[in-house]
Structure 1
Amino acid sequence: MVRLSRRRGKAGRRWLLLFHRWAGIAAGLLFVLWILSGLVMLYVPFPALTEPERLARLAPIAWDQVTVAPGDALRSGGLAGVPAAFALEMRGDEPVYRMEADDGARATVSARTGTRLGPLTPAEALHLVAAGVPEARVQTVARDQWTVTARYDPLRPFLKVALGDAAGTELYVSEVTGAIALDTTRSERAWNWIGAVTHWIYLTPLRARSALWRTVLLWLSGFAALGVLSGVAIGLWRLRVRRRYGGGAVTPYRGLARWHHLLGLAGGLGLSTFIVSGWISMNPNRWFASPSPPEAMRAAYAGSPPALDLAPRDLRAFAAPTTRALRFAAIGGQWWVIAEGTDGPRAVRVDDPIALDAGTIAAAATRGLADGPLRSMRRLTAYDAYWYPHGTDPRPLPVLRLRFGDGAATWLHIDPRDGTILQRLDRSGRINRWLFDAAHRLDLPGLTDNRPLHDAAQWVLNLLAAGIAGTGLVAGWRRLRRILAA
């Protein structure tokens, strides 16, 4: 029995060695690309149009041209139910109402004439975003590398306007709405090819098929995780600290294999954590709930407000000198007008000139989670372990944290200035915060609010990982070359 157990143990170790060797040969290049591209992503995020950038491109609202009431505009838009988003802002030199339904459908209505505006033409796109720029060029784009994700689907196709400036700026104007949906520069595009595109395997033909892309990433990262975990097991198995190998060595290997073993002992835990948490980021088996509130929760939070009864002449009173857009939001069965400007949002109720307060928000949120009572509400004025900035993505403060006693133990983070639900964290989301954000991004207390220390830790761990992957890749290539030459 003992002899049989030894034979099985020896065979198991042999198969472990073989699996690690061939997994490294198959996935070694992926390891190197993932690690190096991850370092690029520390400093260059995937292109996106931020809200401050969007507002900065808008002209001040021409109040003298606003002759259509918000309620009339809603009816002209023809979208059913309470809109998910509804705002008054400028489209070039014309004030317009923009609205979005829960299903993503969009409509744009002229605030001057009350007519629903049709698709934008290339000439109109040039006039809107590049008037007086003779070098500007426009082309129609249905989907490309920077607009590949499904969140852009309701806005397609795009009119991509290249401004011809020194930065190589390109603006993506939705043909459906006439609004700028994205801006990119030559530098952003170049760095993202070796950053996010490589790291996420964001090639357009693959990423456009979201289910296929997710399946490919799950299997690739899962295989890579098994490969690195097998390496950690082998590294610990072949390590000798007490009964050392000849010459007092702790490793039986020589040359490049020695470096691979020693680097694996030093950085194997970090590399394993990085790869396994990357696999977790693909949400295998849908274990983790989305941080975005579901549609039913948003609808309950909005409630059923009465008809939006505001005359055009009344709108200006809600604005400040810096206002670039007025949003109309339903919260708790009431309409609120939110002035958006460079100094942040400010919400006032339509039928009573009072500001939005925490009690109103809590009552609306409790209605959104009818299956669980509100346990506590806290106003956060500083970041903590569950509300913190990530890299170049700051999060607003202060923020309200509401904890509920529902079955999923839901937390909501809500902006007290305008009542926007910024994040939904249930029990699974809080677990995912530690399994992915902490392990993969190093979003840890003490690091999230100290960018130099955070980046230094990332560089140390990633360079160790690169050493492991690089030495393994070279060793694998040498072995493969010998096999092919035999």
Structure 2
Amino acid sequence: MTAATIRPTAKRPRRHWKWWLFIVHRWIGIVTCLLFAIWFVSGLVMIYVPFPSLTRNEALAHLPPIDWGQVRTPPPMEGTERASLEMAGDHPVWRVSRWDGKEQTLSATNSTALGPADAAEAQHTAERFARAPVTAIETVERDQWTVAGGFNRHRPLWKATIAGPGGRILYVSSHTGAVVLDTSARERLWNWLGSVPHWIYLTVLRQDNAAWRQVVMWVSGLCIIGAVTGMWIGILRTRLGRRRFSQGRTTPYHGWMEWHHWTGLIGGLFLLAWIFSGWLSVDPFRLFASHGIGDAERIAYSGTAPFPPLALPSLAAGEPEARRVTLYRAAGRPLALVERQDGSSSVLDAATLSPANLDGTALVTAARRLMPGAPIVAVDRLTGPDTYWYEVGALPVLPVLRVRYGDPAATWAHIDPANGRLLGDLDRRRRLYRWAFDLLHKWDLNGLTLHRPAWDALLWLASLVGLATSVTGIWIGFRRLRH
């Protein structure tokens, strides 16, 4: 066999895989570039308009002061995780949450269990909350803004349309009679351009969580293929050495193709990081699933000692403007958390109603019950945010105790030393997820998010480059399809 007959045979496989590389990128790119453009634009919207929710401070700001004159009975605390006293319309109620997940609303006047909220009660609650009349009240099982699973225990919901400017709509739980969501026309409009397309969050799909996860996984996976093949082709079609294209050019492309080539190379790593982390957002194949600290351990940490009689007249005299009072146990101590309209709070000893002044050593001792059989290897008191304790654009709860355990999963527990509450736990898998998803998708390092607009500038720059790659790809794909 001669060299002439060997040479074509040796080259054919190389031409073959390159041909497939170009074909796969071309046809996947026609679809994925449109998705990328939508995600880049919607992601920028989400920086400034998050998905509608009812925050703690919003709820406190709209709750009326507790009418202490009607409060005559304490809640049952046996088997109770917490019980919160607040107003429901014109009447004070105890909202009781049990360790088995069940919730109940009791009258704070006579301890009778209150049934599901009817239309009149929901309307009155909404009007007290909004300080404006309700123009329409209806029941909804779920809609675009209440499709998440967190609302399941409140369904069906009362949807109350509030009079006046702003297009305000409140959602009231039919089970507890409390307002669980507050939305405005502005929020809803911008979220149709932000969170809804970014998360593929249409009600018809999102109401089936398993189907929604599969769609996000496979659509993101297809986009990963488009991004990887594009980066590969971009590198193959770039010549920076002596062997350049005609007229000394480093790229063989012109016009829209040249713009697509260079923006893809420059922003390709950002694009690939975003789509890969977006794929991880639904934890495909449960790669980062962890058991965490269980309910039995949380109960052991809180304690089950009998709750002392609550001196309601003394509590009323000391906190006449309180919006919410929550009874709970932490580190074996019965406590009362008093919250006010401005968001401030105090922790009182439930027996004496004096400031609790929780002891850090006692909290750490109780924290041993969170991971029985595992030694505590370190305890840190954080007075500032760090890589694993942070919030985007704000400071997290500080100071905070971080208790590190020597269990196989290397679990960490975070405890609020001011009120003794367990704020959350992280094991090795969840800390890895913090890097694989949160960092690559949000770029949420404290050095950026606490020094805005540095964070905004980085996301805008990377998004605009990615958008340029997407838009040029859309136009190139349109011309390809047209011909």
Question: Under TM normalisation by the shorter chain, which class is it?
Answer: over 0.9
Which secondary structure does the structure 2 equivalent of 1:70 belong to? coil
The residue that corresponds to 1:113 in the other structure is 110
Matches of 1:269 and 1:162, distance apart in 2: 45
Partner of 1:370: 372
Asked if the contact 1:47–1:146 (Cα under 8 Å) also holds between the matched residues in 2, the reply is yes
Of stretches 50-59 and 295-304 in structure 1, the one that deviates more from structure 2 is: 295-304
Residue 69 of structure 1: CA displacement? 2.0
Matching of residues 427-446 of structure 1 within 5 Å: 427-446=428-447
Q: Which amino acid aligns with 1:184?
A: T
SS in structure 1 at match of 2:447: coil
- CA change 1:360–1:160 in 2 (3 A) is farther
Residue aligning to 1:251: 251
CA distance in 2, matches of 1:329, 1:293: 19
Aligned partner of residue 39 in structure 2, secondary structure: helix
Superposition deviation, residue 403 in structure 1:
1.5
Residues 331-376 of structure 1, C-alpha deviations (whole Å, 9 max, x = no match): 2333211112235332233245442232232222220111322222
Work out whether residues 337 and 419 of structure 2, in 8 Å CA contact, stay in contact via their aligned partners in 1.
Answer: yes
How much has 1:261 moved relative to structure 2? 0.4
Q: Distance in 2 between matches of 1:355 and 1:227?
A: 57
Find out whether 1:99 has 2:96 as its counterpart: yes
- 305 and 222 in structure 1: CA distance in 2 versus 1, 3 angstrom threshold: farther
Match of 1:77 in 2: none
Indicate whether 1:478 and 2:479 are aligned: yes
RMSD across aligned C-alpha pairs, in angstroms?
2.1
- Match among 80, 97, 105 for residue 83 of structure 1: 80
Native 8 Å contact 1:306 1:333 kept in 2: no
**Do the aligned partners of residues 136 and 365 (structure 1) sit closer, same or farther apart at CA in structure 2, a change above 3 Å counting?**
farther
- Please give the residue correspondences for 1:319-338 in structure 2 after superposition, counting only pairs within 5 Å: 320=319, 322-338=321-337
Aligned to 2:201: 202
SS at match of 1:136: strand
> 1:188, 1:291 → 2: CA distance?
35
Task: Report the alpha carbon displacement of residue 104 of structure 1 after superposing the two structures with TM.
Answer: 3.6
- Residue number in structure 2 paired with 1:78: none
1:127 maps to which of 120, 124, 127: 124
The 8 Å contact of residues 372 and 405 in structure 1, kept in 2 or not, is answered as: yes
Contact 1:345-1:418 at 8 Å conserved across structures: no
Q: How many pairs were matched up?
A: 472
Is the contact made by 2:167 and 2:184 (CA closer than 8 Å) also made in structure 1?
yes
Displacement of 1:292 in angstroms is: 7.5
Tell me which residue corresponds to 1:28: 33
1:395 alignment partner in structure 2: 396
Preserved contact between residue 89 and residue 121 of structure 2 (Cα < 8 Å): no
Q: Tell me, what secondary structure is at the counterpart of 1:269?
A: helix
* 3-state SS, counterpart of residue 453 of structure 2: helix
TM-score normalised by L of structure 1 = 0.92
1:67-466 → structure 2 map (5 Å cutoff): 67-71=72-76, 74=77, 82-130=79-127, 133-134=132-133, 136-242=135-241, 243-289=243-289, 293-316=293-316, 320=319, 322-341=321-340, 342-351=342-351, 353=354, 354-391=356-393, 394-466=395-467
Q: Given residue 43 of structure 1, which amino acid in structure 2 is its aligned partner?
A: Y
Identical aligned residues as a percent? 43
1:74-130 deviations in Å (ceiling 9; x for gaps): 5xxxxxx63333211111221110012345432100001210011111112222221
CA distance in 2, matches of 1:203, 1:102: 33
SS, match of residue 87 in structure 2: strand
TM-score with structure 2 length normalisation?
A: 0.92
Aligned mates of 1:292, 1:130 — CA distance in 2: 40
Question: Unmatched 5+ residue regions in structure 1?
Answer: 75-80
Pair 411,135 (structure 1): closer, same or farther in 2 beyond 3 Å? closer
Change in CA separation of 1:320 and 1:9 when aligned onto 2, cut-off 3 Å: farther
Aligned equivalent of 2:3: none
Amino acid at match of 1:70: P
Q: Residue 291 of structure 1: CA displacement? A: 10
Unaligned runs of at least 5 residues, structure 2:
1-5
Q: Is the 8 A contact 2:449 2:455 kept in 1?
A: yes
Give the superposition deviation at 1:314.
Answer: 4.9
